[in-house]
Amino acid sequence: MNARGRLEYLLTLSRPRFWLYLAGPVAVGVAFAATAVSDLLSPAALVLFGYFLLPGNILLYGVNDAFDADVDEANPKKDDREARWQGDTVVTAVIVASGVLGLGLFAVAPRLTWPYLAGFFLLGVEYSAPPFRFKTTPFLDSVSNGLYILPGAAAFAAVAGQHPPLSALVGAWAWTMGMHTFSAIPDIEPDRTAGIRTTATFLGERRTYAYCFACWLVAAAAFALVDWRLGAVLSAYPLAVLAVARSEISVERAYWWYPVLNTVIGATLTMGALWRLFYG
């Protein structure tokens, strides 16, 4: 593989459609933590957003693809929108370097952020890698995906100088549980063929819809404890999964709509926070 081929492969590996799954929570966390416009462009906010926009995704999905190479041979998602593992020493070095770069965040971010950063790196690696490989244990695979909101929690702590509200953390964690498990529905048959046990393979498609509905209902209720308007916005998720479950829309098709839904919801939350900041 030449240099251009490696670059294109690394970009595909990093899942550009999902970049905002890590960087988006950073933007939301900064917007809600800010008490002045200057906070939005604070060094800690910019560094965290930059890292979790690309290097963090290369690390997360690179580890995932490397340890799932055998499983992904039977996964149809890898045929077009994603890529099967083609790693060589250079690709592996870039993934490792992304992890080392992430450890540098501890040097520039306040101590208050360290538990969230440590949680991200621990869960992000051990979700796919031995010895824990959380993704192969039903329900632990779902719970461990709270890793996606930890960058946002770190960003809030860095800017606000205090921890995020507990209700917001609970709501965001429940949201990630529902999001992860919904995304695993298209993988049920490939995972069963490969002998992989997940929450989705354990529950089956219909009960997995119910599980996602419950997670997103908890998320909406928890955010409503912070502000009823947040709960109202998050209610889009249980309504969306209910609509998919009751329709004839294939989950494989619906799965690719969720980055759009997540972007719209994230933008709505961020704009609401910025409105408070500018027009309070």
Q: What is the CATH number of domain 6-164?
A: 1.10.357.140
Tell if the pTM clears 0.85, that is, is over it: yes
How far apart, in whole angstroms, are the C-alpha atoms of residue 259 and residue 20? 8
Asked if residue 261 has pLDDT above 70, the reply is yes
Give tens-digit pLDDT for 185-204. 988 988 888 888 999 999 99
pLDDT, residue 194, reads 80
Instruction: Report which secondary-structure segment, H or E, holds 38.
Output: none
pLDDT for position 31: 96
Q: What is the mean pLDDT of residues 108-134?
A: 96
CA distances from 180 to 21, 143, 145, 175, 204 (A): 11, 9, 7, 9, 15
Task: Provide the percentage of residues in the chain whose pLDDT is more than 70.
Answer: 96
- With a pLDDT cut of 90, the percent of the chain lying above it is 76
In the chain, where are the structural domains located?
6-164, 165-279
* 21 pLDDT above the threshold of 80: yes
pLDDT at 255 over 70: yes
Peptide bond into 151 cis (omega under 30): no
CATH fold of 165-279 reads Four Helix Bundle (Hemerythrin (Met), subunit A) (1.20.120)
CA nearest to 86, candidates 73, 103, 99? 73
The per-residue pLDDT for 45 is 95
Q: Tell me the pLDDT band of 253, cut-offs 50, 70 and 90.
A: confident
Per-residue pLDDT tens digits for 151-194: 999 999 999 999 999 999 999 999 999 999 999 998 898 888 88
Report the pLDDT value the prediction gives residue 81, as an integer from 0 to 100.
64
- Structure tokens belonging to residue 280: 């309070």
In the predicted model, is pLDDT for residue 77 greater than 70?
Answer: no
Which amino acid, one-letter code, is at 18?
F
